[in-house]
Amino acid sequence: MTMSGGKVDPGGDGRDSGSAKVTELESLRHRVKELEAENAKLLSLISSCQCQQMEVKHDVSVLDPGSLVRRSRKARKRADSIPSHLVSKRYIALKIMYFGKRFYGFSAEAQMEPSVESEIFKALERTRLLVGDKKESNYSRCGRTDKGVSSTGQVIALFLRSRLKTPSGDSEAHVDAKVNERGEYDYVRVLNRALPDDIRVLGWSPAPIDFHARFSCSAREYKYFFWRQNLNLSAMDIAGKKFIGEHDFRNFCKMDVANVHCYTRRVTFFEVSPCQNSHEGAQLCTFTMRGSAFLWHQVRAMVAVLFMIGQGVESVDVIDTMLDTTKIPRKPQYLLASEIPLVLRTCEFENVDFICSSGAAESLRTHFKNESLRYQLESVIFQEALRNCLPVGNEKSSCNGVEKKKKGAVHVPLLSRPTEPSYEERSAKLKSRQQETCHV
């Protein structure tokens, strides 16, 4: 996209300065568009950064007037003939699956599209199950998974249109949670027809009026898939079990000092286990961990350190050391494990029982089988590439004389690495910035 340069406008007003201004106007407009496109591109590049060097969530400004990236929802709403406060509604919980790879996270707040949440709301609008707008729907979500992270059990809650009339006929028009679901919209089926292939509703449930997808959640379970290769599974299992219990996980997360002041969390379950899948000789395995709540990037940080232990470059004791925040007040720098294999598997609630019609369930199963095969086919192409490599022993060239041996990456012990600022140091810095701002 290069500058168009000044296009001569033959219909100019005749005066030199006038037509020059029009030309400059056009070229400036074009330049603004180019820059906005480049800006959006850079923002999306930045969002893929996983190192601690860039505080993406907090720093990137959306140059808004116009909000570069966030799409206007007003353009999509059709006028309803019945005023929304008279439409029969009920408070619903939805269980959601998504393959997170192409999304900028679950949440639409970061204003980078697409997000899982924004796709869900598009489907809700398209199917007219959303009455009024998102703000009026009392919407809440259980977890806020990051870019690339998937889920098979995310939960959201909000008011949706109901087919059932309210028993009392009051103008609030809320269908009581205890009302029998017979006759209700098949929310799962309706929504799944409107969602993209990588998002599905797995079930729905009436929700009590005090239900909150985040605060009513009693437990969350994550799974992290990986290929065994040469990793020492039992060492990783021993190490991972040290996470069980209540601990300060500040050395296993990305601190968000402005909003999070307590880094203590409870892990109730941890396990490394092989899955049934094996592929071309490689054994699929998974980490499974449960807790009431997890910090930002906590699972990926835990997994990163477990991999080092599995590779034999760190001892299982490094977990105990890193959980001891008096001994290690500053987090050593290390890369997070990749986000793609991470799955928020399930979120648990006391008073919610998800249901799904048999028709919708059958469609779901067919869909997941087909998608699994479709993604598998991509892997097959790399296997074909492997088969088409030149045969071993085809070495007529001894390259450039000096056979460059590939350098193995040298592992720097975690406890010898540069560290990040401690919670106290970050907190103090934030306070002083806030004070400066106040004094301006």
Look up tokens 């000789």; give the residue: 281
Instruction: Select 264 or 379, whichever has its Cβ closest to its own copies.
Output: 379
Nearer to its own copies, 38 or 324 (CB): 38
Residue with Cβ nearer its own copies (225 or 307): 225
Residue 36: how many other CB atoms lie within 10 Å: 14
How far lies 382's CA from each of 137, 376, 388, in Å?
Answer: 46, 10, 10
Q: Look at residues 188, 116, 118, 193 and name the one whose alpha carbon lies nearest to residue 150.
A: 116
Q: Which of left, alpha, beta for 169 (phi over 0: left; psi -120 to 50: alpha)? A: left
Q: How far is the CB of 54 from its own copies (least distance, A)?
A: 5
Amino acid at 187: Y
Closest CA to 367 of 108, 238, 191: 191
CB closer to its own copies out of 280 and 350: 280
How many of the other CB atoms lie within 10 Å of CB of 294? 21
Q: How far is the CB of 38 from its own copies (least distance, A)?
A: 5
Write the DSSP symbol of residue 167. S
Q: State in angstroms the smallest separation of the CB of 402 from its own copies.
A: 10
**CB of residue 4 vs its own copies: minimum separation in angstroms?**
5
186 catalytic per annotation = no
Compute the distance between CA of residue 93 and CA of residue 352 in angstroms, rounded to an integer. 8
Q: Which of 13, 16, 146, 170 is catalytic?
A: 146
- Cα 372 to chain center, whole Å? 20
Q: Counting runs of H as helices and runs of E as strands, what totals does the chain give? A: 9, 10
For residue 373, give both structure tokens.
């095969």
- Active-site annotation, residues: 146
